[in-house]
Each structure stands twice: as C-alpha cells, then as structure tokens.
Amino acid sequence: MKQEIAITVDAVIFAEENNELFLLMIKRKNEPFKNEWALPGGFLEKDELLKTGCLRELKEETGLALTEIQQVGIYDKIDRDPRGRTLSVAFTAKLQQKKEVKGNDDAEEAEWVSLKEIKKTAFDHNLIISDAKKKLQITA
C-alpha cells in the first residue's frame, strides 16, 4: 500500500531592530488560507534536501537569500493541512537586522511583522513560531 503524504518546509526567520523583534511572514496568494498570514514555505521537491528546499522556498516567496538555518522540528498533526496528509519540517534563523523582502511566487506580500502584533496564522504556524522562539531562546 502506497502512502500519499506530502512533505513541506517552513522558514521561521527573526530579525531585530531598535530592540524589537520581528518575524518574516507572507500573505498567502492561494487557497487554502488565501490572504492569511503564514510562514514562508512550501512543498519539498523530490530531488532536494529539506534544508535546501526551505532556503529555496524562502528565496522564492520573499527574495531573502540565506545560507544558515537550523531545524526546529517536524510537524505531523493529521489534519494540519486541508489539502491532505502533510508533514512539515521547520527551520529557523535570527538576523542581526531586517533585510529587504518582497512577496513573490505563492506570496501575495512579504513583510517583517512585530512579534507583538502576531495573532492568528495559517495552518499550525503559531505552534511552529513558538517552538522556534524556544529553540533560539527568544523570550519576547
């Protein structure tokens, strides 16, 4: 019996400016969760490693090119994606300052959002953000 399970990657990128922490988020261009805020990310291609896929999706959706990110965790809640069974592997990094970003590909917009302003996100991204903050020992 063949399993139909998709693999996605999510990027949780923080940056600091004027003693305030920001998170890079995208506004989704497509369903599910069209026009809602989410982490940059997407489906892994069959010939790429997880980290490579995450860096590719980050650049495609926001224009931000990074080389160093660290794994946060694997998210496998059965109903986390309405399109079907999906496992996501999240990666994180903290930049010394915000860099210019622009929504592209599956992202209608990309912007740095203050951690104080983040409320509801698509999928289970609030949980992923919380875990990334713990991984990087961010208390804000």
Q: What is the pLDDT of residues 81-97, one digit of tens each?
A: 999 999 999 999 999 99
Please say whether the beta carbons of 54 and 96 come within 8 A. no
Which of 87, 1, 2 lies closest to 41, judged by CA?
87
| pLDDT tens-digit readout, 103-117 | 999 999 999 999 999
Please say whether the beta carbons of 73 and 131 come within 8 A. yes
The whole-number pLDDT of residue 2 equals 83
Q: Is 109 a catalytic residue?
A: yes
Identify the active-site residue in 60, 108, 109, 111. Answer: 109
Q: pTM for this one?
A: 0.96
How far apart CA 122 and CA 105 sit, in angstroms, is: 17
SS3 77: coil
- Identify the segments of the chain with pLDDT beneath 70: none
In CATH terms, is domain 6-135 a member of 3.90.79.10? yes
